[in-house]
């Protein structure tokens, strides 16, 4: 089938594109390359370099007529969302609504939306968070991601748009930008391999659910035919703090220095990890790459690709 992937030249989206292509699908990518890279893009995918808010997006739908839309494009920086909530809402709510409206107008049969398990719940009432946990985001990014989930529910009720929502945990792995706005694993590896000081924001006791990018990408393939109107957390259900991530990477890279500690980021949840039982029971999804394996794979990628740039 023909699948349009927004943000398909980005860190996670490009891995999703690879899986779709390998499964025999015809893949079209819309990406403005503000954070994505052409080097990430599968050569079998067709790229339209566009912002999802562009009027030209209609022309892409007119020409390509995708059967499925997989929506990864987003403003994803928590700090930027706090500093500029209007821009965050413009991209993540209004831009996403535009993509969904075009999907409906051009008869796409499925819409897969990528949301944030790390940001929508806020500071948890209980752990691990399942999909029924109260939604109380602490940053505009989490609020905007969840708001569009509500729009998808309405679009299904009003217009019968089939959709699945995937709430990602903290995703890491190859192609994550070491100079980007997010991704502590990539940032630490980039600094360690360059022999630069590493700064941990806050105490480093912040807890996250780290899942390898290949495992998260697989969930997109699994929701093509399943999960109508459903929301799925991805995660290990186990928390790892940032100090532990530093220690793992220090050992893998033989980094000689200790970390420095800076100010904590405003708007970030302190402790979060996710219950992915629904994804396991309904989709057959569960992570297969453990943290040590995933961190080693990521370091090897950076040594082979990023360091040589």
Note whether 204 and 215 are same-domain residues. no
**Could you tell me which residues come within 8 angstroms of residue 180 by beta carbon, excluding any fewer than 6 positions away?**
11, 35, 186, 187
CATH of the domain at 229: 3.40.50.720
- State the Cα–Cα distance between residues 172 and 156, nearest whole angstrom: 32
Note whether 55 and 89 are same-domain residues. yes
**CA nearest 6: which of 143, 107, 100, 116?**
100
DSSP letter at 20 equals H
Exposed/middle/buried for residue 245 (C-beta within 10 Å: 0-12, 13-18, 19+)? buried
Q: How many domains are there within the chain? A: 2
Q: How far is CA 152 from CA 17, 168, 182, in A?
A: 22, 17, 26
Note whether 183 and 128 are same-domain residues. no
Where does the pLDDT of residue 178 fall: very low under 50, low under 70, confident under 90, or very high at 90 and above? Answer: confident
CATH of the domain at 263: 3.90.25.10
**Dihedral of the CA atoms 10, 16, 17, 23 (nearest 10)?**
170
pLDDT at residue 305, rounded to an integer: 87
pLDDT at residue 174, rounded to an integer: 97
* For residues 138-153, average pLDDT: 98
- State the Cα–Cα distance between residues 228 and 235, nearest whole angstrom: 20
Number of other residues whose CB lies within 10 A of the CB of residue 207? 19
pLDDT at residue 307, rounded to an integer: 62
Structure-token pair, residue 55: 């009027």
pLDDT at residue 308, rounded to an integer: 59
Note whether 217 and 289 are same-domain residues. no
pLDDT at residue 309, rounded to an integer: 56
DSSP of 57-116, one letter per residue? Answer: HHHHHHHH--SEEEE------HHHHHH-HHHHHIIIIIIHHHHHHHHHHTT-SEEEEEEE
pLDDT at residue 182, rounded to an integer: 63
Note whether 158 and 220 are same-domain residues. yes
* Residue with the two structure tokens 């904590």: 264
* For residues 225-253, average pLDDT: 97
Contact (CB, 8 A) for 162 and 274: no
Note whether 157 and 179 are same-domain residues. no
Note whether 259 and 132 are same-domain residues. no
C-alpha 55, offset from chain centre: 25
Note whether 181 and 154 are same-domain residues. no
**Could you tell me which residues come within 8 angstroms of residue 208 by beta carbon, excluding any fewer than 6 positions away?**
118, 169, 170, 239, 240, 241, 242, 272, 273
pLDDT at residue 264, rounded to an integer: 87
Positions annotated as catalytic residues are 141
- State the Cα–Cα distance between residues 137 and 146, nearest whole angstrom: 9
Helices (H), 123-241: 140-159, 184-193, 213-222
Angle among Cα 49, 233, 88 to the nearest 5 degrees reads: 40
Q: Domain range for residue 39?
A: 2-170+211-233
Tens digits of residue pLDDT in 254-309: 999 999 999 988 878 899 999 999 999 999 999 999 999 999 999 999 999 876 55
Note whether 77 and 221 are same-domain residues. yes
Where does the pLDDT of residue 181 fall: very low under 50, low under 70, confident under 90, or very high at 90 and above? Answer: low
Mean of all residue pLDDT scores within the chain = 96
- State the Cα–Cα distance between residues 184 and 245, nearest whole angstrom: 9
Tens digits of residue pLDDT in 51-71: 999 999 999 999 999 999 999
pLDDT at residue 267, rounded to an integer: 78
Note whether 45 and 165 are same-domain residues. yes
Note whether 29 and 59 are same-domain residues. yes
Note whether 163 and 202 are same-domain residues. no
Tens digits of residue pLDDT in 9-36: 999 999 999 999 999 999 999 999 999 9
- State the Cα–Cα distance between residues 243 and 250, nearest whole angstrom: 10
């Amino acid at each position: 089938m023909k699948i349009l992937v927004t943000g398909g030249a980005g860190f996670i989206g490009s891995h999703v594109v690879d899986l779709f292509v390998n499964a025999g699908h015809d893949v079209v990518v819309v990406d403005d390359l503000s954070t994505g890279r052409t080097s990430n893009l599968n050569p079998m995918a067709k790229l339209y370099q566009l912002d999802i808010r562009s009027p030209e997006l209609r022309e892409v739908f007119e020409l390509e007529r995708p059967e499925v839309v997989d929506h990864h494009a987003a403003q994803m920086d928590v700090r930027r969302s706090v500093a500029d909530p209007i821009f965050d809402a413009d991209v993540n709510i209004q831009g996403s609504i535009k993509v969904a409206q075009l999907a409906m107008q051009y008869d796409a049969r499925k819409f897969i939306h990528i949301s944030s398990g790390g940001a929508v719940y806020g500071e948890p009432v209980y752990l691990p968070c399942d999909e029924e946990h109260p939604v109380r985001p602490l940053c505009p990014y989490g609020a905007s991601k969840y708001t569009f989930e509500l729009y998808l529910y309405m679009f299904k009720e009003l217009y019968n748009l089939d959709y699945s929502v995937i709430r990602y945990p903290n995703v890491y792995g190859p192609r994550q930008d070491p100079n980007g706005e997010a991704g502590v694993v990539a940032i630490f590896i980039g600094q360690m391999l360059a022999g630069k000081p590493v700064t941990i924001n806050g105490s480093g006791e912040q807890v996250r659910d780290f899942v390898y990018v290949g495992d998260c990408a697989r969930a997109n393939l699994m929701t093509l035919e399943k999960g109508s109107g459903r929301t799925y957390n991805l995660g290990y259900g186990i928390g790892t703090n940032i100090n532990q991530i530093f220690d793992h990477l220090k050992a893998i890279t033989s980094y000689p220095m200790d970390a420095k500690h800076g100010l904590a980021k405003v708007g970030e949840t302190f402790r979060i990890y996710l219950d992915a039982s629904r994804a396991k029971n309904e989709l057959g999804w569960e992570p297969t790459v453990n943290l040590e394996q995933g961190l080693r794979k990521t370091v090897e990628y950076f040594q082979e690709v990023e360091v040589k740039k």
